[in-house]
Amino acid sequence: MPTVVITGANRGLGLEFVRQYLAESWNVIACVRQPSPALTGLQEHGQLTIHPLELVDPEALAAFASSLGDRPVDVLLNNAGTMGRGSFATEGLTPFQFGTSNAGEWAEVFHLNVFVPMKLAELLVDNVAASEWRRIVTLTSMLGSMELNTLGGLYAYRASKAAVNATMRSMAIDLAPRGIIAVPIHPGWVKTGLGGDKAPLEAPEAVAGVRSVIASLTPENAGRVLSYAGEGMPW
Ligand SMILES: NC(=O)c1ccc[n+]([C@@H]2O[C@H](COP(=O)([O-])OP(=O)(O)OC[C@H]3O[C@@H](n4cnc5c(N)ncnc54)[C@H](OP(=O)(O)O)[C@@H]3O)[C@@H](O)[C@H]2O)c1
């Protein structure tokens, strides 16, 4: 069966990806800072491996990659992401609005949302190239689209998702000769810690949609921004 590497797999969309890929008997390598009981409870599936991994630690990333050796990775799924509201909360500021920008927060958001998918792709590219599926997917957001931004705010998060779209576009071009399809996919607005309670979608529906898009990718899709429904999205 194919193998998927999923980052941020202890809760939210990442955990649901683990559940659904295990249900289809895939080999799942789940990367997490702290395994949640919900994730460890899935270990009864023999195909789940949990890797403790702080993604913004470059040495930990490299050690994770070398622990895989030359094992093929069919799908590298860059799921972990942050809006960075943590430091705003501790400073008592209203998050995400003009007038509240913070260098540490921007660095944290860009490191996790943009640089980690880039570096992980570089570290695992040979594993992906050696697989049957050969896909690198990063979860982006419609909030990264210039055209769809009519509300303003959310500066660091929007900018990071626009940046990761540009990153995936270059990756799609550079890795096409190796038969790798690289795409950013928007999962919809989903009820999770990040999406909040007002989101219209539940994680199982969003993840089923993203998985179906991943399964039906063709080289023509490489570098496009796709929605969980498989539609092209405006930049
Ligand atoms: N939910 C939505 O409506 C929505 C919409 C568009 C795009 N997305 C994208 O979908 C992806 C998943 O979002 P979600 O809604 O599932 O978010 P979530 O519930 O907040 O989960 C985020 C995940 O990222 C992990 N993470 C954060 N910082 C990390 C770090 N430094 N090292 C390792 N793991 C780290 C978290 O682990 P910890 O538990 O250890 O913090 C958690 O597992 C993100 O890229 C997000 O931008 C979500």
pLDDT tens per residue across span 160-218: 999 999 999 999 999 999 999 999 999 999 999 999 889 999 999 999 999 999 999 99
The percentage of residues in the chain with a pLDDT greater than 70, rounded to a whole number, is 95
Confidence of residue 108 (pLDDT cuts 50, 70, 90): very high
Considering the segment(s) 3-227 as one domain, its CATH architecture is 3-Layer(aba) Sandwich (3.40)
- Radius of gyration (C-alpha) of the chain in whole angstroms: 17
User: How many other β-carbons are positioned within 10 Å of the β-carbon of residue 181?
Assistant: 23
Token pair belonging to 111: 């490191």
Confidence of residue 26 (pLDDT cuts 50, 70, 90): very high
The pick from 79, 111, 158 for probing ligand 1's pocket by mutation, whose C-beta has the most ligand atoms within 8 angstroms, reads 79
Residues 6+ apart with CB under 8 A from 72: 3, 127, 128, 130, 131, 132
What lines the ligand 1 site, CB under 6 Å?
8, 10-14, 33-34, 54-56, 79-82, 112, 139, 141, 186-187, 189-190, 192-195, 199
**Residue boundaries of the structural domains of the chain:** 3-227
